[in-house]
């Protein structure tokens, strides 16, 4: 099985921790560095493009999408959150490659950090686990081993 992780650099004090959690989960599932491709993008808005592009190569069984949006005083948060969520859904529908939504949408930096703690509560870890499960399901339904 090959998994891609698309991670936003914006709010990297959180996304770096999500990436660590995702890598730990993938490692525990038996996936090493050769099985995991990490793509860094500027922010959450760019995640769907990169996720779709890497999935379209045909060399990936699933994509873990990681980002962090923290609500501010303007409607920008709502626009980016919505665009990111809809973009990831469209990308997985178009390519047929499962993509997990590990993009935090929080009211504060403190809320974001609570979701990026080490261990089982890390949302990056949860997204990686979901990606593995869905890649296996896709493989089973298509009769292909993942």
Beta-bridge partner residues of 104 = 68
Instruction: Find tokens 């949408």 and name the residue.
Output: 105
Tokens, residue 113: 């950090």
Phi and psi at residue 96, to the nearest 5°: 75, 10
Instruction: Find tokens 């490692």 and name the residue.
Output: 27
Rounded to whole angstroms, the Cα distance separating 54 from 37 reads 9
Is 86 known to be catalytic?
A: no
Catalytic residue among 49, 57, 59, 76: 76
Q: Which residues are catalytic?
A: 76
């Amino acid at each position: 099985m090959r998994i891609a992780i698309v991670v936003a650099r914006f709010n990297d004090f959180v996304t770096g921790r999500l990436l660590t959690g995702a890598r730990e989960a993938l490692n525990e599932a038996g996936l090493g560095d050769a099985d995991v491709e990490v793509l860094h993008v500027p922010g959450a808005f760019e995640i769907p493009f990169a996720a779709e592009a890497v999935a379209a190569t045909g060399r990936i069984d699933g994509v873990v999408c990681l980002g962090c949006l923290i609500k501010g005083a303007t409607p920008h948060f709502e626009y980016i959150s919505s665009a990111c969520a809809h973009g990831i859904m469209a990308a997985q529908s178009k390519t047929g490659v499962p993509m997990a939504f590990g993009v935090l949408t929080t009211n504060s930096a403190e809320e974001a950090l609570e979701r990026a703690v080490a261990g089982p509560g890390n949302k990056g870890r949860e997204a990686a686990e979901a990606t593995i499960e869905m890649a296996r399901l896709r493989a089973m339904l298509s009769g292909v081993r993942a």
